[in-house]
Amino acid sequence: MHEMQQANVDLLQIFYLMRLTRAMEERTRTLFLQGRVVGGVYTAQGHEATTVGAAMTLRDGDCIVPQHRDLGMHLVRGTSPRAVMCQWLARGNSPSLGRDGQLHIGDMHHGIVPMISMLGESLPVACGVALTMKMRKRESIVLASCGDGATNTGPFHEALNMASVQKLPLVLVIENNGYAYSTPGYKQFNVQQLSERAKAYNIPGETVDGNDVLAVIEAVSRAGEHARAGNGPAIVECKTFRVRGHSEADKADYVPKELREEWLKKDPITRFEAYLEQERLLTARKKAQMEARIREICDDAVRYAEQSPEPDVATVTDYVFAPDGPIAIVGEPGADNPRYINALDRRTGESFTTISQEEEAIGRR
């Protein structure tokens, strides 16, 4: 923690974002119980130190590829509480235009790549974004996240293999909350730490306390510097706990009472608050002002969403099917069998052929 103070990190801003993340989810859960939320609700109580801490390490130009419990990452990267609430209430002006009620959203202006609901499938996409950054010689990284269960899927291993071979600027944060839905860790994998899986791909792996926000920031920062230096990907496993069920429809009766009580004592927000008070950075007055501001933001987001229009039923097929019309096939002039990559060159105005040659050169190194 001493290192974090030396780095001049805005600790109160970190605490504010953690509290805002939880408050937004608590408000959404209340709306769900009142029958005002469309679809299910998947909260991340207990994950705030991991999601906020990891995203706080990023710079302009970096991208995130989050999962469905990463509200903290969205808020850090600039997604507004109003947009989040419109999304949960499936309003016509939501990021998904009312077509989804979850955080399956993105905003490329803020460097947020939309997640894929089949967890683990987003990781190859993250590799694609990271490869683009490398080939365009950007000093940027991609921060992707997944849960412990997703580490057992094929796309997880395929993505890590590609990222390692190509030395992609990718940082993977594994949010190990102990359960893949209802399956405990000991029934999922036969390693002590999920970060050990990094050894198979000859990349760094580190396990940290995911409920200690400063430990998360330090570990993800190290992994990020490794990736920015052109050394390839790195894994940071954050051990945390999902306080509530997989969704609000899941009572999580499979979690032993003693285990839940043990983790509740490690609550990341309560823990960080105690540290800030100990360091005399958070006074009772500052805390009261912060809580009032958060309530105001949540109230405003709910009002805005409820006053926003419902999706227009007449647009239900928009963005689902490709527009009608002939498909032009453009290849090399005079070529009998135009190549797909040449068609892309002509259609986009960007030389994918040049990029392809560079990719071949990367592969030979």
pLDDT at residue number 341: 59
DSSP assignment of 268-311: HHHHHHHHHHHTT---HHHHHHHHHHHHHHHHHHHHHHHHSPPP
Residue 133: pLDDT band with limits 50, 70, 90: very high
**According to the model, what pLDDT value does residue 322 have?**
73
Q: How far apart are CA 14 and CA 75, in angstroms?
A: 11
Gyration radius of the chain's alpha carbons: 22
Q: Write the pLDDT tens digit of every residue in 217-270.
A: 999 999 999 999 999 999 999 999 999 999 988 899 999 999 999 999 999 999
Instruction: Kindly state whether residues 275 and 350 are assigned to the same domain.
Output: no
Band (328; pLDDT cuts 50, 70, 90) = low
6, 59 in Cβ contact below 8 A?
no
Question: Whole-angstrom Cα distance, residue 30 to residue 34?
Answer: 6
127 or 40: whose pLDDT is higher? 127
Domain tally, the chain: 2
Distance, in Å, from the CA atom of 150 to the CA atom of 241, rounded to the nearest integer, reads: 16
What is the rounded distance in angstroms from the CA atom of residue 297 to the CA atom of residue 291? 10
Q: E-assigned strands of 66-169? A: 142-147
Q: Which two tokens stand for residue 61?
A: 């130009």
Binned at pLDDT 50, 70 and 90, residue 339 comes out as low
158 plus 141 within the same structural domain: yes
Helix, coil or strand: residue 206: strand
Whether 330 and 251 map to the same domain: the answer is no
Q: What is the pLDDT of residues 276-326, one digit of tens each?
A: 999 999 999 999 999 999 999 999 999 999 999 999 999 888 888 777 766
- The residue with tokens 């992994």 is 223
pTM: 0.87
Q: Are residues 29 and 71 in the same domain?
A: yes
Cα-Cα-Cα-Cα torsion 5, 8, 13, 14, nearest 10 degrees, comes to -50
Instruction: Please write the tens of the pLDDT for every residue from 187-217.
Output: 999 999 999 999 999 999 999 999 999 999 9
Rounded to whole angstroms, how far apart are CA atoms 42 and 251?
12
> In which band, very low, low, confident or very high, does the pLDDT at 363 lie, cut at 50, 70 and 90?
very low
Taking each helix axis from N to C end, the angle separating 213-228 and 48-55, rounded to the nearest 10 degrees, works out to 40
pLDDT recorded at residue 200: 96
Under 8 Å between Cβ of 247 and 272: no
193 and 100 within one domain: yes
Domain with 337 in it: 323-365
pLDDT for res 352: 44
Same domain, 70 and 157: yes
The reply to whether 316 and 328 lie within a common domain is no
Q: Let me know whether 327 and 315 are in one domain.
A: no
Residues in the chain: 365
How crowded is residue 35: how many other Cβ atoms within 10 Å of its Cβ? 7
Q: Are residues 178 and 269 in the same domain?
A: yes
Angstrom distances, CA of residue 313 to CA of 51, 84, 132, 317: 35, 21, 37, 9
CATH number of the domain encompassing residue 304:
3.40.50.970
172: confidence class by pLDDT, cuts 50, 70, 90: very high
**Cβ within 8 Å of residue 143, ≥6 positions away:** 54, 55, 57, 58, 62, 63, 64, 65, 73, 171, 173, 220, 224
The pLDDT, as a whole number, for residue 219 is 98
Query: Mind listing the pLDDT tens digit for each residue in 104-132?
Result: 899 988 999 998 888 889 999 999 999 99
Q: Are residues 35 and 126 both part of a single domain?
A: yes
Separation in Å, CA 4 to CA 57, 215, 220, 293: 12, 9, 13, 26
Q: Is 81 helix (H, G, I), strand (E, B) or coil?
A: helix
77 and 138 both lie in a single domain: yes
Of 73, 94, 105, 85, which Cα lies nearest the Cα of 25?
Answer: 85
Q: Are 305 and 98 within 8 A, CB to CB?
A: no
pLDDT for the residue numbered 354: 47
Arithmetic mean of pLDDT over the chain: 89
Query: Within this chain, do residues 200 and 61 fall inside the same structural domain, yes or no?
Result: yes
